[in-house]
Amino acid sequence: MTMGTFLHGLRARGKKKKRGAGAGRPPGGEQRIAVIGLGRFGSSLATELMARKWDVVGLDESERRVQRHRDLLTHAAVADATDDEVLRQLGVHDFSSAVVAIGSDVEASILVTSNLLEAGVPNVWAKAISRQHGMILERLGAHHVVLPEHEMGERVAHLVTGRMLDFIEFDDDYALVKTVAPSVATGVPLGRTGVRNTYGVTVVGIKRSGQDFTYATAETVIQPGDVIVVTGRTQAVESFAELD
């Protein structure tokens, strides 16, 4: 999962209702989020959210990390987020979303996630460092669990071993792939190529050299060298991307 995908999902989930807690954002549309853990992942996420005009509070036990972020975030504080009372004093329980970005301390990650869920934070995202860690977080009730290192490794493996230009796989064996259009999809309107029936994929976007990406329709005629975005079952899009 790329950072852009993660942020898109965070924004989308912020609009949904969770556990009767009301809308994902506070009244007035204010976009507030707590990022707990300011290591590489948490730091990158927090600064990107600030660039997207979110109100970000960053928490970490490391004074050095907090000092580095004081001028970058809405607020940064040295805090033991495993202490529920500390979170309450900082007002984290009133935020629309929280991300538990704690790294290798699995126990702390679980405690903080549990505290946030018990407090009814509408959208709790949690970083996992292993599939086992992720399973525990899911069982706790975390609304979304991400495994950045695993997912990035899996994505790069697809790019290194195939012809794909980009690859994103979703939880239900469904993938989105960017690739150079194979010859079976070029020269005639998409609706006449039979790509969907033959290969089980759908072409949803197209980019021609010197132009921006645009939506693909049944009337779209793809030319050799065009870059396309394709969706479908993971195995289907992988096989399609390997066609000449």
User: Could you give the CA distance from residue 239 to residue 116 in angstroms, rounded to a whole number?
Assistant: 42
pLDDT tens readout for residues 134-161: 999 999 999 999 887 777 767 677 667 6
User: Could you give the CA distance from residue 143 to residue 125 in angstroms, rounded to a whole number?
Assistant: 6
Q: List Cα–Cα distances, 204 to 71, 188, 242, in angstroms.
A: 41, 16, 18
pLDDT tens readout for residues 5-35: 555 555 444 443 333 333 333 443 357 899 9
Provide CATH code, domain 162-241: 3.30.70.1450
Rg of the chain (C-alpha set) = 21
Q: Where are the domains of the chain?
A: 3-147, 162-241
**Domain 3-147 shares a fold with domain 162-241:** no
Percent pLDDT > 90 in the chain is 62
Cβ pair 137, 109 in contact under 8 A: yes
Provide CATH code, domain 3-147: 3.40.50.720
What is the DSSP pairing of strand 164-170 with strand 174-180? antiparallel
User: Could you give the CA distance from residue 153 to residue 243 in angstroms, rounded to a whole number?
Assistant: 24
pLDDT tens readout for residues 183-223: 999 999 999 999 999 999 999 999 998 899 999 999 999 99
